[in-house]
């Protein structure tokens, strides 16, 4: 059976292109995206050149405060802003007017008000593609961007590729060769060339920090003349048609920015990189560079410096050489306690843009339930929480906050209700006993012998739909011994509960009495020196799905298997590839399909360009239980996971606007950028243009 599933995956492109076509609504899928509900990003700009005034220049918001707006870029005239937005449940590239560079500070609020008109989408809506990193050619006729519109030819290969769309005709051309992934494209000032970071034919090797990419250049009109320009580099940007900046992480552990000079042949073709020079010293992180012909000698970068928990935008003046570079702080004087991402410089060299969280003081917190456009018949929602599950009638959702266990009404009424304040994971509802939720309490991601127990939480509010008092809640411990018992899932007849336990020294599956726990009877379902976990019982009672590394115990690779509750019929349903991770299966209401999260599509962007994601390759997929009909539901550069499925079909209008997330701007920067004070290399003194201030790094 495992061989049969692998053959299905060999035809990945065909399967994904021929997604199941169901005529009737097939329920609702809800999942979590790590941190995404807290972003509330907008695009901002500040003067590129330092101000002679003692007070910092006022920051100008360039986007309208709707949804999540990021990865901006000025149009060639500097009079318009390109940016990526996730509004209307989909992801697209938008264009909006940009205020003139000479606008006075006193007109800041008026300019933001003028700029509040809805922006213009530049590409037709596509429910099955990411669009990112936009740039326009000088005449404004061609848009260059990243898209995941076409499946990769094999599992664990990125779908990210560079496209150019001729806007007057709408004709799109793929510039990236088939079977290859490209990230972070940058358009040369002439528009003739595009540079991108690419792993080439080697593909993705599972990295979640700095990708193993090289810098390639190719013709913008058709992708021809593709050339490897620089080994080991990412996030390229052009200072002029013969100068590229890029970042890389060196053996000293620091991200640094480099400058490459390009040889241009007599016929105007790019020949090779004649010199590559590191322009930022070790001792601090510098990455995602941005430059412009309008600001010769200047490059904007994002930095993480010792003593700071935030990434900020700085401008480096290289006119006197890299060894005598001056550093201008841009964002720290204005917003010292906010992360600033992915700078870009206007063509006239007057402004540097970036995106950051607009904060709770500028608009409401995002919705706890966010409706997304779905390529499938199922309704698709993102939740501000983890391990969500619907009650059998679809009226309530349980989820965890890591820590905390919560219940909300799925229509948004009544607000969230905190059931348990400790650490709990995951959630599932009893099919027969109303208001009973199963979860496990204790540390997550722990060893086999760690004390974690399965419990049944009775809400005690059968008649009021979720408004009962805390005193009515009761918690019953179902497992004995506490050897990492977790992931409970009840049988549809309400009699049994499957869960994973580490009691044998390995995490395997067990079935116990749903009401009395181990005291009412227990039997072992799987047995072996591997990890079987994340189990889910099918609504028809026939199957139990679970994630396992039994094909390579301890190797970190997980696939999805199914087994009958009596221990027969074991087979593998889906496996992304050796080293791949496919997890968190959940059956469809008719038990014929399942939803899960996987690295089947690898990563869609350089992870350093986002806030922290442990597994930025996570996307949501569905598949038939025989291994056919694979379909990708989500396309983004974040970590999607822990999906569940209910028979009830929710529409955006079914979810009240009053149900808000628990906060905005509550996320972390990439963990690998953190700097420990006791692990600093030798002192590096850097000259700041303001007062020649020395900063020890």
Tokens of 142: 């061609």
- For residue range 149-188, list pLDDT tens digits in order: 999 999 999 999 999 999 999 999 999 999 999 999 999 9
8 Å CB contact between 226 and 214: no
- Residues 45 and 64 reside in one and the same domain: yes
More confident residue, 682 or 182: 182
Across the chain, which distance is largest between two alpha carbons, in Å? Answer: 84
- Residues 211 and 169 reside in one and the same domain: yes
Q: What percent of the chain has pLDDT over 90?
A: 72
Does 7 map to a domain? Answer: no
- pLDDT recorded at residue 21: 40
Q: Which string of DSSP letters, residue by residue, matches 370-391?
A: EEE--SSSSEEEEESSEEEEE-
Strands (E), 109-254: 120-121, 131-136, 142-147, 161-166, 171-174, 183-187, 193-198, 214-219, 227-230, 234-240, 243-249
Among 330, 357, 384, which residue terminates a domain? 357
**Region 293-318 average pLDDT:** 96
- pLDDT recorded at residue 472: 86
Beta bridge partners of 458: 436, 474
Strand 379-383 relative to strand 28-33: parallel, antiparallel, unpaired?
Answer: parallel
- For residue range 350-362, list pLDDT tens digits in order: 999 999 998 644 4
Does 668 map to a domain? Answer: no
- Residues 52 and 183 reside in one and the same domain: yes
Does 170 map to a domain? Answer: yes
Distances (CA, A) of 241 to 88, 260, 292, 342: 37, 11, 10, 21
- Residues 373 and 476 reside in one and the same domain: yes
- Residues 302 and 376 reside in one and the same domain: no
- Residues 482 and 430 reside in one and the same domain: yes
Please say if the pLDDT value at position 25 is more than 50: no
Does 25 map to a domain? Answer: no
Please say if the pLDDT value at position 26 is more than 90: no
- For residue range 603-632, list pLDDT tens digits in order: 999 999 999 999 999 999 999 999 999 999
Please say if the pLDDT value at position 218 is more than 90: yes
**Region 238-261 average pLDDT:** 95
- pLDDT recorded at residue 682: 33
- pLDDT recorded at residue 322: 85
Total tally of structural domains belonging to the chain: 2
Residue 590 CB: number of other CB atoms within 10 A?
13
- For residue range 133-149, list pLDDT tens digits in order: 999 999 999 999 999 99
Alpha carbon of residue 374 to chain centroid? 17
- pLDDT recorded at residue 300: 98
Boundaries of domain holding 563: 367-461+470-661
- pLDDT recorded at residue 448: 85
pLDDT-based confidence at 690, cuts 50/70/90? very low
Does 673 map to a domain? Answer: no
- Residues 272 and 386 reside in one and the same domain: no
8 Å CB contact between 443 and 432: no
- For residue range 251-304, list pLDDT tens digits in order: 999 999 999 999 887 666 676 778 899 999 999 999 999 999 999 999 999 999
List the CATH number of the domain containing 397: 2.120.10.30
- Residues 321 and 409 reside in one and the same domain: no
- Residues 578 and 608 reside in one and the same domain: yes
Q: Which string of DSSP letters, residue by residue, matches 295-360?
A: STTEEEEEEE-TT-SS-EEEEEE-TT-GGG-EEEE-STTT-TTS-EEEEEE-TTSSEEEEEEE--T
Q: Which string of DSSP letters, residue by residue, matches 464-503?
A: TTS---GGG-EEEE--SS-BS-EEEEE-TTSSEEEEEE-T
Closest by Cα among 352, 360, 349, 365 to 60: 352
**Region 558-572 average pLDDT:** 97
**Region 672-681 average pLDDT:** 61
**Region 520-547 average pLDDT:** 97
Alpha carbon of residue 613 to chain centroid? 6
Q: Whole-angstrom Cα distance, residue 448 to residue 531?
A: 10
Q: Whole-angstrom Cα distance, residue 238 to residue 1?
A: 51
- Residues 126 and 215 reside in one and the same domain: yes
pLDDT-based confidence at 53, cuts 50/70/90? low
Residue 650 CB: number of other CB atoms within 10 A?
24
- Residues 309 and 422 reside in one and the same domain: no
pLDDT-based confidence at 447, cuts 50/70/90? confident
Among 306, 323, 357, which residue terminates a domain? 357
Please say if the pLDDT value at position 438 is more than 90: yes
- Residues 415 and 311 reside in one and the same domain: no
Beta bridge partners of 455: 439, 477
Does 334 map to a domain? Answer: yes
What DSSP designation does 601 have? T
Among 337, 357, 377, which residue terminates a domain? 357
């Amino acid at each position: 059976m495992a061989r049969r599933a692998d053959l299905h995956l060999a035809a990945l492109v065909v399967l994904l292109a021929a997604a199941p076509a169901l005529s009737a609504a097939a329920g609702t899928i809800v999942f979590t995206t790590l941190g995404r509900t807290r972003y509330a990003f907008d695009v901002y700009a500040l003067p590129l050149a330092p101000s002679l005034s003692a007070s910092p220049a006022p920051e100008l918001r360039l986007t309208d405060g709707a949804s999540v707006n990021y990865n901006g870029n000025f149009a060639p005239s500097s009079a318009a802003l390109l940016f990526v937005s996730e509004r209307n449940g989909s992801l697209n590239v938008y264009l909006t007017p940009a205020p003139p560079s000479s606008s006075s500070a006193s007109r800041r609020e008026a300019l933001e008000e003028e700029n509040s008109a809805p922006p213009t989408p530049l590409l037709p809506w596509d429910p099955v593609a990411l669009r990112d990193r936009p740039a326009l050619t000088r005449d404004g006729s061609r848009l260059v961007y990243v898209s995941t519109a076409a499946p990769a030819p094999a599992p664990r290969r990125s779908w990210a590729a560079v496209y150019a769309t001729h806007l007057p005709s709408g004709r799109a051309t793929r510039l990236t060769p088939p079977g290859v992934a490209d990230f972070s494209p940058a358009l040369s000032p002439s528009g003739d060339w595009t540079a991108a970071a690419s792993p080439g034919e080697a593909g993705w090797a599972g990295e979640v920090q700095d990708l193993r990419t090289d810098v390639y250049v190719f013709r913008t009109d058709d992708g021809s003349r593709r050339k490897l320009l620089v080994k080991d580099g990412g996030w390229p940007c052009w200072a002029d048609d013969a100068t590229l900046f890029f970042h890389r992480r060196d053996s000293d552990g620091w991200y640094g920015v480099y400058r490459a000079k390009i040889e241009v042949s007599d016929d105007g073709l790019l020949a090779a990189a004649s010199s590559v020079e590191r322009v930022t010293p070790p001792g601090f992180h510098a990455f995602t560079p941005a430059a412009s012909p309008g600001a010769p000698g200047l490059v904007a970068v994002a930095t993480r410096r010792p003593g700071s928990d935030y990434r900020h935008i700085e401008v480096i003046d290289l006119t006197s050489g890299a060894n005598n570079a001056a550093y201008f702080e841009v964002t720290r004087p204005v917003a010292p306690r906010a992360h600033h991402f992915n700078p870009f410089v206007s063509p006239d060299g007057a402004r540097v843009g970036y995106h950051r969280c607009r904060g709770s003081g500028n608009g409401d917190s995002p919705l706890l339930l966010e409706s997304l456009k779905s390529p499938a018949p199922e309704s698709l929602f993102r939740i501000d929480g983890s391990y969500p599950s619907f009650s059998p009638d679809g009226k309530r959702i349980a989820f965890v906050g890591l820590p905390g266990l919560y219940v909300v009404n799925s229509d948004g009424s009544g607000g969230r209700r905190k059931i348990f304040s400790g650490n709990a994971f995951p959630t599932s509802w009893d099919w027969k006993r109303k208001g009973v939720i199963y979860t496990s309490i204790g540390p997550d991601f722990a060893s086999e012998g760690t004390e974690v127990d399965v419990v049944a939480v009775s809400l005690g509010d059968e008649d009021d739909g979720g408004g009962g008092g805390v005193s009515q809640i009761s918690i019953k411990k179902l497992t004995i011994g506490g050897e990492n018992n977790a992931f409970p899932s009840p049988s549809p007849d309400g009699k049994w509960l499957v869960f994973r336990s580490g009691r044998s020294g390995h995490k395997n599956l067990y079935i116990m009495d749903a009401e009395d726990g181990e005291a009412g009877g227990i039997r072992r379902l799987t047995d072996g020196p591997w990890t079987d976990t994340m189990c889910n019982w099918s609504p028809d009672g026939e199957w139990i799905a679970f994630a396992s590394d039994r094909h390579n115990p301890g190797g970190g690779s997980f696939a999805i298997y199914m087994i009958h509750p009596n221990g027969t019929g074991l087979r593998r349903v889906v496996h992304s590839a050796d080293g791949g991770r496919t997890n968190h299966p959940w059956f469809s209401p008719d038990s014929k399909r399942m939803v899960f999260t996987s690295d089947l599509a690898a990563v869609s962007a350089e992870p350093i360009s986002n806030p922290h994601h442990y597994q930025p390759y996570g996307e949501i997929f569905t598949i038939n239980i025989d291994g056919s009909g694979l379909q990708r539901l989500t396309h983004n550069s974040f970590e999607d996971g822990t999906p569940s499925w209910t028979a009830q079909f929710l529409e955006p209008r079914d979810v009240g606007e009053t149900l808000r997330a628990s906060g905005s701007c509550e996320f972390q920067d990439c963990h690998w950028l953190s700097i420990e004070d006791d692990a600093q290399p030798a002192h590096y003194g850097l000259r700041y243009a303001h007062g020649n201030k020395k900063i020890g790094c």
